Structure formats: structure tokens, C-alpha cells
């Protein structure tokens, strides 16, 4: 196995989370590539890992904390670490030590950049980005919000603990209409798929549904709301990972429309 940096030749693979075979990924639009171009000069780092046959099987992306959804100083935040785990395409590549090797490479990288530590978010349920896995790699719990734990590994004794940036306000239901509020940053194709499906679904209800979008790559918009990526139908949040089907989103919208 070999950890490598992102290159122009493998960008397209990175944009679809190593899933070029996925029909669903085609629904994600070009939001990830636009996000990358916006953040590549803000300290975004991306590393990939090749297996012994030269096949790219995993990735990690991390960014200075001031450009993330976490509050802190002199730290980097791991947005995601991913080893291909599907039967399709190159097949399941998990449980071969790739994730650990990627994490170690990222830790070494940010330490050499002068960061005082590195931060990760982890789920307490058996899914993607498990908190228990980070704990095994030496990460400590800092805080918890719902099913998400904030974890970190500090490199300096004077490192200050990071904190979640909590929502500042929530969307409000508007009289006489159904409003879809879509907050989109672009870094995650799964959320981008949900965004595109919600936007498409809103058009099928014509004037009864209003689609409002918020570009949270604009830091002031993100800090105003404290919401990085989310979809609300009126004042009710819709789960975006895994992406709900187009049909399910239409059904959720219709329930609200029928109440008008």
C-alpha cells in the first residue's frame, strides 16, 4: 500500500468518492469540484491510498479548522476518511489497514505544518466514520451532539479543545406555502445528491413549493445559521445520509402541501 497526494489525473475519482461505477453519483452534480476549487487554496489537503496493484482504494480529506464546521484554533479537521466498501467497482477494500495508514499520513502532515492537533467527527452508531474506530487510533472524546461525537488528538500540550458550532437559528414555516430550505457546502457528494433531488422535487409542485438555497461556502452565511449542510421541509429537517430517494422527498413534500 502507498499513500499519495491528489493529482490532476485522479481528481475525477476523488470527486465521486472513488465510486465512478455509481449511477447515484451522477446525480451529485459538479458541487464537489466547485467546492474543491474554492478550498484548495485555503489549506485543504487530500490524500489517497493505492493498493499493491496500484488501484486507488481509499481517501482522506482535511482542512484548517477555521474553514470547517468546528470551532477552534491551530487545528485541522478531518472532513471524511473513506475506504471503498462496496461490492461494485473495485470491491470491498476494508479491513486491510488502509484507513489507519491514511490517518497516520494525515496526522504526520498536519503536525509538520505546525498544527497543534487534529479533529474528527465520529458516529456512535455502526456506520460510516465510527467514533469507536477513532478511539482505537488514540482519539479522545471532546463533545457529543446527537449521534455524533467530536474527537481529537492533540500534538501540543497547549492545544485548546475544539467545540461544535451549534445552529444559531432554524427555518420557520411560512404561511400559505411549503418552503424547502437547502444548506449546501459541497464537500460531500451524498449531501449533494440529496440537495439535487430536493431541488428537482420542489419543481414538480410548481407555485405551492418555494426552494430556498444557502451557499455555506460563504462563511458569513454559515455563521449566521450555524448550519453547514442540511435540508428542511418547512421547519422539519430531512435526513440526507444516506441520500433519500427522489420519490421519498416528493412524498414528504406532498404531506406538507396537503396540509395547506
pLDDT tens column, 23-32: 999 999 999 9
First to last CA, the chain: 57
Residue 162 vs residues 24, 40, 188, 236: alpha-carbon distances, Å: 34, 23, 22, 28
Confidence (pLDDT) at 114: 97
Return the CATH superfamily for domain 2-164: Gcn5-related N-acetyltransferase (GNAT) (3.40.630.30)
pLDDT in tens, 188-237: 999 999 999 999 999 999 889 999 999 999 999 999 999 999 999 999 99
Give pairs for 135-144: CB < 8 Å, separation 24+: 137/100, 137/103
Closest CA to 3 of 98, 76, 89: 98
Q: What percent of the chain has pLDDT over 70?
A: 100
- Domain spanning 178-258: which CATH class is it, in words? alpha beta
- Domain residue limits, the chain: 2-164, 178-258
* Contact status, residue 61 vs residue 78, Cβ threshold 8 Å: yes
The grid cell for 14 is 476523488
Q: What's the mean pLDDT when you consider all of the chain?
A: 96
Mean pLDDT on 239-249: 93
Give the model's confidence band at 145: pLDDT under 50 very low, under 70 low, under 90 confident, else very high. very high
Confidence (pLDDT) at 206: 82
Amino acid at each position: 500500500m502507498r499513500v499519495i497526494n491528489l493529482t490532476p489525473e485522479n481528481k475525477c475519482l476523488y470527486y465521486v468518492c472513488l465510486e465512478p461505477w455509481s449511477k447515484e453519483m451522477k446525480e451529485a452534480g459538479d458541487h464537489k469540484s466547485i467546492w474543491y476549487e474554492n478550498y484548495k487554496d485555503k489549506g485543504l489537503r487530500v490524500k489517497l491510498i493505492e493498493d499493491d496493484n496500484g488501484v486507488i482504494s481509499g481517501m482522506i480529506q482535511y482542512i484548517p479548522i477555521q474553514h470547517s464546521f468546528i470551532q477552534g484554533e491551530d487545528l485541522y479537521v478531518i472532513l471524511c476518511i473513506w475506504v471503498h466498501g462496496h461490492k461494485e467497482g473495485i470491491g470491498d477494500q476494508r479491513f486491510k489497514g488502509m484507513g489507519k495508514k491514511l490517518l497516520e499520513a494525515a496526522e504526520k502532515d498536519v503536525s509538520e505544518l505546525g498544527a497543534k492537533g487534529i479533529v474528527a467527527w465520529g458516529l456512535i452508531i455502526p456506520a460510516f466514520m465510527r467514533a469507536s474506530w477513532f478511539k482505537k487510533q488514540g482519539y479522545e472524546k471532546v463533545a457529543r451532539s446527537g449521534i455524533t461525537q467530536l474527537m481529537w488528538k492533540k500534538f501540543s500540550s497547549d492545544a485548546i479543545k475544539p467545540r461544535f458550532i451549534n445552529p444559531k437559528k432554524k427555518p420557520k414555516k411560512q404561511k400559505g406555502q411549503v418552503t424547502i430550505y437547502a444548506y449546501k457546502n459541497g464537500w460531500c457528494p451524498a449531501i449533494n445528491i440529496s440537495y439535487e433531488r430536493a431541488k428537482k422535487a420542489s419543481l414538480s409542485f410548481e407555485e405551492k413549493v418555494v426552494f430556498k438555497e444557502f451557499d455555506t461556502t460563504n462563511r458569513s452565511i454559515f455563521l449566521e445559521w450555524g448550519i453547514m449542510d442540511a435540508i428542511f421541509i418547512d421547519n422539519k429537517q430531512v435526513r440526507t445520509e444516506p441520500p433519500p430517494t427522489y420519490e421519498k422527498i416528493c412524498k414528504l413534500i406532498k404531506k406538507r402541501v396537503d396540509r395547506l
